[in-house]
């Protein structure tokens, strides 16, 4: 698929997008209903749907039951499940996870493959392409009609802000992003969206299998590092320069432990995997791995439980403060540490509830993540849906409402 360019093509793609959006949200519809809902003339709508039918992106619904006494029923149009795929790709520190959905948004394949933490971007991309080939063979998928690729990767990233390289690490990350975007766009001839994988996991928790989606969600991920994602008004918040969600570096105690970021008392110094293993060991229960920690927590060792409660308390203070500010309806805690024991989430929920005392009539749901390792890749696919499968420009659409009109003062 080669994307057309120019103003008229843009207008047409916008119309196509509205048609697909309507079919996605409402299922099969007649052309007449589509025209009314979208506000296009019947003529324009017919041109648009003809092209989409020719390209196989939509099809005529096959489950059309004849209705008595009303002649031939009006044809209903629907997204064609077999028309193509969406790829969600999550590049983690030590593995790439790929999730494949069909055009009707059913997940049809999911798998992961490991690489060395020191692997280059080129090696990671090669590993991802090998995995795609393998999934193609194992599942009989052809990937010749990929409608969009969503990519999650670690570290701060803005899908829409042109970055000014200002330090070597950030510059390398941006070079990696450009490399990935180019490699996947060339291989699949499809639009590519990129975002931070932890944020995407938050988006996935907000929308996965939910009847209506969660409009306002706070997502925190506890692992080697601590990050998160905010969903506001149904949309992922990237922030002004792509840095939104760095919850691990919210400081709770100016006199606390020194953090790798230079500050003291950051959430990461209390609730990251390393911090918890170290604190247990220092308190007299030597644990070197997550498995050992899980075992020790399972026996109810009071020192381990105490360390986990302290971590949960710190998590709850951060989540409580953010919930006072943002008023989410749901708070989700994910990551490997959340799976060690129920203690962390239970304590975090209790502390969050206390922090919400001043807004007593409001209590968000607090729960563990449900998506596990697939969250980032699934979120990457949802990011494609939210940003038009036929528009190449994630940059132009993400998270930005039309600018409000300024007021001017003439006289007062």
Candidate segments 52-60, 67-75, 120-128, 247-255, binder of a copy of itself by CB under 8 A: 247-255
- What tokens were used for 278? 């170290």
> DSSP per residue over 287-335, as a string?
--SHHHHHHHHHTT-HHHHHHHHHHHHHHHHHHHHHHHHH--SEEEEES
Is 255 a binder of a copy of itself (CB under 8 A)?
Answer: no
Is 235 a binder of a copy of itself (CB under 8 A)?
Answer: yes
Is 200 a binder of a copy of itself (CB under 8 A)?
Answer: no
Sites for a copy of itself among residues 92-131 (CB under 8 A): 101-102, 105-110
Is 230 a binder of a copy of itself (CB under 8 A)?
Answer: yes
Is 322 a binder of a copy of itself (CB under 8 A)?
Answer: yes
Query: Cβ closer to a copy of itself: 255 or 299?
Result: 255
Is 175 a binder of a copy of itself (CB under 8 A)?
Answer: no
Handedness of CA 396, 397, 400, 405 (dihedral sign): positive
Q: Is 349 helix (H, G, I), strand (E, B) or coil?
A: helix
Alpha carbon of 69 to those of 72, 264, 282, 296: distances in Å?
9, 76, 81, 72
Sites for a copy of itself among residues 58-97 (CB under 8 A): none
How many whole angstroms from its chain centre is CA 196?
8
Query: Cβ closer to a copy of itself: 244 or 297?
Result: 244
Query: Cβ closer to a copy of itself: 262 or 284?
Result: 262
CB of 185 to a copy of itself, least distance (A): 23
Which of 205, 208, 232 lies closest to 332 in space, CA to CA? 205
Is 216 a binder of a copy of itself (CB under 8 A)?
Answer: yes
Sites for a copy of itself among residues 24-63 (CB under 8 A): 24-25, 36, 39-41, 43-44
> DSSP per residue over 80-97, as a string?
-GGG-EEEEEEE-SSEEE
Cα separation, 328 vs 215, whole angstroms: 8
Is 266 a binder of a copy of itself (CB under 8 A)?
Answer: yes
Is 390 a binder of a copy of itself (CB under 8 A)?
Answer: no
Query: Cβ closer to a copy of itself: 131 or 280?
Result: 131
Mask for 272-291, x = binds a copy of itself (CB under 8 A): --------------------
Buried b (16+ CB within 10 A) or exposed e, 276-311: bbebbeeeebebeebebbeebbeeebeebbebbbbb
Which of 273, 311, 312 lies closest to 291 in space, CA to CA? 273
Mask for 342-381, x = binds a copy of itself (CB under 8 A): ------------xx-xxxxxx-x-------------x--x
Is 197 a binder of a copy of itself (CB under 8 A)?
Answer: no
Q: Is 100 helix (H, G, I), strand (E, B) or coil?
A: strand
């Amino acid at each position: 698929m080669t994307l057309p360019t120019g103003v008229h093509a843009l207008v047409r793609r916008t119309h196509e997008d509205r048609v697909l959006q309507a079919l996605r949200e409402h299922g099969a519809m007649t052309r007449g209903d589509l025209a009314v809902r979208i506000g296009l003339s019947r003529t324009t709508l017919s041109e648009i749907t003809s092209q989409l039918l020719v390209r196989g992106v939509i099809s005529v619904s096959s489950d059309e039951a004849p209705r008595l006494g009303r002649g031939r029923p009006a044809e209903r149009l629907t997204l064609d499940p077999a028309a193509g795929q969406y790829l969600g790709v999550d590049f983690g520190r030590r593995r790439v996870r790929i999730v494949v959905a069909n055009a009707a948004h059913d997940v049809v394949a999911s798998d992961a493959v490991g690489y060395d933490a020191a692997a280059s971007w080129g090696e990671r991309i090669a590993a991802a392409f090998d995995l795609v080939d393998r999934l193609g063979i194992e599942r009989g998928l052809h990937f010749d009609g990929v409608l969009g690729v969503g990519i999650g990767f670690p570290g701060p990233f803005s899908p829409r802000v042109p970055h000014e390289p200002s330090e070597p690490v950030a510059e390398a990350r941006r070079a990696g992003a450009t490399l990935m975007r180019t490699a996947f766009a060339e291989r699949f001839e499809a639009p590519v969206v990129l975002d931070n994988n932890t944020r995407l996991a938050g988006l996935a928790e907000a929308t996965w299998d939910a009847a209506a989606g969660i409009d306002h969600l706070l997502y925190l991920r506890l692992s080697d590092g601590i990050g998160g994602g905010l969903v506001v008004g149904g949309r992922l918040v990237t922030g002004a320069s792509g840095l939104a969600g760095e919850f691990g570096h919210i400081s709770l105690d100016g006199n606390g432990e020194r953090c790798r970021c230079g500050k003291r008392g950051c959430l990461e110094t209390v609730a990251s995997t390393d911090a918890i293993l170290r604190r247990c060991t220092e308190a007299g229960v030597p644990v070197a791995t997550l498995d050992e920690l899980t075992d020790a927590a399972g026996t109810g060792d009071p020192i381990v439980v105490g360390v986990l409660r302290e971590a949960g308390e710190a998590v709850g203070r951060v989540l409580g403060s953010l919930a006072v500010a943002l008023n989410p309806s749901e708070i989700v805690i994910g990551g490997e540490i959340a799976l060690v024991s129920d203690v962390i989430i239970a304590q975090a929920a209790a502390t969050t509830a206390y922090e919400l005392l001043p807004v007593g009539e409001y209590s968000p749901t607090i729960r563990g993540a449900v998506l596990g390792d697939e969250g980032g890749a699934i979120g990457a696919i949802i990011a494609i849906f939210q940003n038009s499968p036929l528009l190449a420009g994630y940059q132009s659409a993400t998270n930005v409402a039309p600018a409000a009109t300024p007021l001017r003062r003439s006289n007062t």
